[in-house]
Structure 1
Amino acid sequence: MSEPALEFDGRAVPFREGQTIAAALTEAGQRAFRRTAKDAPRGIFCGMGVCQDCLVTVDGVPNRRACMTKARAGQRVTTGEPFPALDLDARLPEPAPARVLEPEVLVIGGGAGGLSAAIAARAAGAKVVLVDERPVPGGQYYKQAASGAPLDAQQSEGAALVAAARESGAELLGGVEIWGAFDGPLFLAEQDGAALILRPKTVIVATGAYERPVMVPGWTLPGVMTTGAAQTLWRSYRTLPGRRVVVCGSGPLNAQVALELAEGGAEVACVAELAPMPFGKPFAAARMALADPALTLKGFGLLRGLRRRGIALRYGTALRGIEAADGGLAVTLADRRDGSRVVEVDAVCMNAGFEPQNEILRLLGAQMTYDAVFGHLRCTRSETLETSVPGVYAVGDCAGMGGAPAARVEGRIAGRAAAAATGHGEAYDLFAELRTLARHRRFQRGLWRLYDVRPRPPEPGQGETILCRCEEVSLAEATEGHGRNPGHVGTLKRGTRIGMGRCQGRYCGPVATRLVAGWSGAEIADRSFFAPRVPIKPVSIASILAAQEALDDAP
């Protein structure tokens, strides 16, 4: 029996059950999915619906994210255009009535922290609804397979957690894009094109994080993607990002994904690790090992696996630039000892730390402080993980990087606390959970001392480097814009359009904030960043109209 196929720009592209359009196109060797206003090609980058760079037209509907849209037999997919033709005479479809849910505890995010929170709140007796933007819960750490058996112990652990959440009686809703968060709390969302209104008594935000890229010339080329996107392609859809890949940046995820791709059949040219060889930090390594021996052994196992497969882990090596070359990519790496070298590959995977997905928390007014070491905002929380906004809790990496084990503990604490706030359960002893959480946090502190994820602006001599993927604003243009009208990041935004694109500044915003702070000498705080704006995710006009109608009719 032949595989089903979709059509891309007139040619048939086969796909397997569960694959997204992005996975099917990548497996077929198609790197470019759309063209920008400056006629530059773009492809999959984040793999999780954040960057908005994989937009295609599906069956005549423009601006569909290929990484979030399931492949279906007979689909007509065409290259995304910057200004797609619209039928101005067409009537908007009548919006379906909005669905209204009023749970006692709403959990936003189906990763390690969100699933654990839902289970704990249900165990206490609360009515729980968990929403997640992906069709299958599990989050970025557990990354569940779209079909088939789990790939390894980590995926099996995630599958067990998802099963426990379903068995708890919590209502799990996938494919839900929250686009508005308001006082109340009140959340407006879209699911399968229909409006969804959520009015919970309490809410636990567990939206995770997205990856910080390495901004160098060529980082927007098709075939360049985050390490997490490459992992999603492989772990969720059994699709390799390319036949020959290079992994760049800093952090343990890079080594893990390099080994996974190699085991899947890819040739890994090397892992370019920015940090120096860790032998000079024995105390940090010792503290990490004492905090969590099992995870430490897992890390050493990854390094042994790379050596066994002959994959070079080059410490002190930085990514300097990427160019298109002979149907692939020519990657320039700079080693502190051996100088520069060029590697030719099909795909470049990059990860230089993470940025918390805290838009919902900031929209609700949760207090934030700037962490200069990690270069991102951390949410202020109580012992029970409640934010400065009563009834709003935050767990996991959306509140500041902490790792999946810590997120699970935080989820259990916040789930019980949120349930108690709605009248289910009483005060409980946090001693054991807080001690476990402290141990996981010690491990994370030791782990990150071994890597180098300090935020870095693009090199001053590389003015052509793109800062804003959406609006195609370069470092030179941003520098010139600030020189014409110095001030704050909002002034820069108005003068250059940086941060005005579809991703709403999720990638360029933190970089622009740090650049402006450096130029002006100002300290960075919550208000130094671009303000989140509604809608925070793509939403149809029909869904907005349906939500508005339902709110107008509400008593």
Structure 2
Amino acid sequence: MPTSPSEATGADRPYDLAVIGAGPAGLAGAVTAADQGLRCVLLDAGARPGGQYYRHPSPALHAARPDRLHHHWPVYTGLADRLAEHRAAGRIDYLPQHHVHLLERRDPWRLHAATGADSGGRATVTARAVLLATGAYERQLPFPGWTLPGVVTAGGAQAMLKAGLVLPGSRVVVAGSGPLLLAAAASLTAAGAEVPAVVEAGNYLGYARRPGVLAANPAKLVEAVTHGAALARHTVRLRRSSAVVEAHGTDRVSAVTVARLDRDWRPVPGSERKIACDALAIGHGLVPQLELATELGAATRQVPDGTLALAVDRRQQTTVPGLWAAGETCGVGGAELAAAEGELAALAVADRAPAGRALSARRRLRGFAELMAAAHRPGPSWRDWLRPETEVCRCEEVTAGQIDEAVTELGATDPRSVKLLTRAGMGWCQGRMCGPAVACLSGSDKPTADSRPLSCPVRLGDLAALPED
């Protein structure tokens, strides 16, 4: 059972390390730190460890083979076994369903979290050091019809399958850009869905620009070939340099229009084709989740795909003393890279020499991550998919026409100005779904770090309960 919040306040003695996020980076960081004798607390918003990558069904579903929907499942089970051993020995307290919304930079650090499935409680944890392993969320580029029922994110389709053993539909088009599409399509077909097409806006030629990076990561090539072979067995067509530019339907999606794209991602006139489906799984890569760190003033760097990631040194420390980061917060690169960085961060916190194997893995895999980001960077003309009435911010129902009016007639020059004039990004998701699109439509040339005092919605009562000091 997880430790109760009252047992984890840390009021009597601060933890040596608080790890936020129980995905590959957080798990590796927590167990490595415990291996070195540190007393740790592992907080995670999910109900079970593993993060998005190793999301798996509840035991109540009695899944016979959860491993069939994952790559490198033994890596996760190894980390989970080590976590269980450290918890039994009292070296790690594991706190699921803890949404950390505020970091106070003190000596020691103070972490405030909303607790429970509906965030109905609260907890405070103190620790001498913090490791941020909060992962990433999916980037969505809007298009006409993207708000129809049956249109889900590519990662959302995988989450439904991995956690709930359900499919978003029986005939699912997978679209967007990035390696997640192939993995999602392979999982869906393995579970019995029909996937008529994988629609990739990129063309994969960007990977050929750095053959040395590819040669250093043969496992990535093997993984791609494995996905490709699985899709070929199910006669799934791969449409490169193409995009879903419209979804059709009334009560739910019934078909999508796919168009060829030029090098700037502008739809080629006359290339449109309609594909019947009852679900669409779509995503254009991942955006690192940085709010807890950027609110403290942590420096960021621009990734080749146009997103921002935390800037860290060779020991994974951010520019904020006492705050380390690992995994997708440092730039999206996959589970293996995340685990290596989590291990390196934990060793740094414990004042131990870095492991040579982890250093080598980070250097090799971070190089591939940068190559991958450049290969799947959205083209500037994706905005040509939009119509004035296309909703960009779904929470506040702000359209592309309203954003254009804010820019061309009201003088908005950045995402914050657009937000103040239109309410785009002020809804429940706090801009996680529409933020990248709003930033692009605002005409901003460079991404800016999202700084906010709270990283997720918090009840007013919980704010009132915070200590006055």
TM-score bucket of the superposed structures, by smaller chain: 0.7 to 0.9
Matching residue within 256, 261, 265 for 2:188: 261
Matching residue within 102, 105, 109 for 1:183: 105
Could you state the TM-score of these two structures normalised by the residue count of structure 2?
A: 0.87
* Matched residue type, 2:308: L
Deviations 1:454-475 (A, max 9, x none): 5765327522222211111111
Matching residue within 313, 320, 343 for 2:238: 313
Give 2:433's aligned residue.
507
Deviation (angstroms), 1:445: 3.5
1:493 lines up with 2:419 in the alignment? yes
Are 1:144 and 1:159, in contact at CA under 8 Å, matched by a contact in 2? no
Are 1:317 and 1:334, in contact at CA under 8 Å, matched by a contact in 2? yes
Matching residue within 366, 373, 385 for 2:298: 366
Distance 2:228 2:235 in 1: 11
Name the stretch that deviates more: 313-322 or 483-492: 483-492
Give 1:220's aligned residue.
147
Deviation (angstroms), 1:375: 1.3
After superposition, the Cα gap between the structure-2 partners of 1:461 and 1:489, relative to the gap in structure 1 and judged at 3 Å, is: closer
Distance 2:252 2:319 in 1: 52
SS in 2 for 1:140: coil
Give 1:162's aligned residue.
80
1:540 lines up with 2:459 in the alignment? yes
Deviation (angstroms), 1:176: 0.7
Counterparts of residues 395-434 of structure 1 (less than 5 Å): 395-420=326-351, 427-434=352-359
Distance 1:511 1:480 in 2: 15
Distance 1:180 1:456 in 2: 37
Distance 2:342 2:219 in 1: 21
Distance 2:160 2:178 in 1: 19
Distance 1:461 1:150 in 2: 39
Are 1:138 and 1:158, in contact at CA under 8 Å, matched by a contact in 2? yes
Give 1:303's aligned residue.
228
Distance 1:145 1:455 in 2: 39
Matching residue within 349, 363, 369 for 2:281: 349
Matching residue within 21, 38, 46 for 1:134: 46
After superposition, the Cα gap between the structure-2 partners of 1:341 and 1:112, relative to the gap in structure 1 and judged at 3 Å, is: same
SS in 2 for 1:141: coil
Deviation (angstroms), 1:106: 0.3
Deviations 1:444-503 (A, max 9, x none): 234445545457653275222222111111111011012333143322211111111111
Deviation (angstroms), 1:516: 2.7
Distance 1:387 1:413 in 2: 13
* Matched residue type, 1:194: G
Deviation (angstroms), 1:507: 2.5
Deviation (angstroms), 1:303: 0.3
Deviations 1:142-168 (A, max 9, x none): 222223342335334323222222223
Counterparts of residues 468-483 of structure 1 (less than 5 Å): 468-483=393-408
After superposition, the Cα gap between the structure-2 partners of 1:386 and 1:110, relative to the gap in structure 1 and judged at 3 Å, is: same
Deviation (angstroms), 1:191: 1.5
Deviation (angstroms), 1:249: 0.7
1:378 lines up with 2:304 in the alignment? no
The answer for unaligned runs of 5 or more in structure 1 is: 1-95, 421-426
Distance 1:227 1:174 in 2: 25
Deviations 1:329-381 (A, max 9, x none): 2211013588111112111101111111111111222111333x311112111
Matching residue within 150, 158, 161 for 1:231: 158
* Matched residue type, 1:270: A
Deviations 1:372-412 (A, max 9, x none): x3111121111111111000001111122222211111100
Are 1:517 and 1:524, in contact at CA under 8 Å, matched by a contact in 2? no
Distance 1:446 1:218 in 2: 32
Say what the alpha-carbon RMSD is for the aligned residues. 2.4
Name the stretch that deviates more: 201-210 or 216-225: 216-225
Are 1:166 and 1:172, in contact at CA under 8 Å, matched by a contact in 2? no
SS in 1 for 2:301: strand
Name the stretch that deviates more: 301-310 or 459-468: 459-468
Distance 1:240 1:471 in 2: 28
Q: How many residues align?
A: 439
Give 1:55's aligned residue.
none
Are 1:144 and 1:155, in contact at CA under 8 Å, matched by a contact in 2? no
Deviation (angstroms), 1:524: 2.2
After superposition, the Cα gap between the structure-2 partners of 1:274 and 1:109, relative to the gap in structure 1 and judged at 3 Å, is: same
SS in 2 for 1:246: strand
* Matched residue type, 2:24: A
Deviation (angstroms), 1:530: 4.5
Deviation (angstroms), 1:310: 0.6
Are 2:172 and 2:279, in contact at CA under 8 Å, matched by a contact in 1? yes
Name the stretch that deviates more: 291-300 or 119-128: 291-300
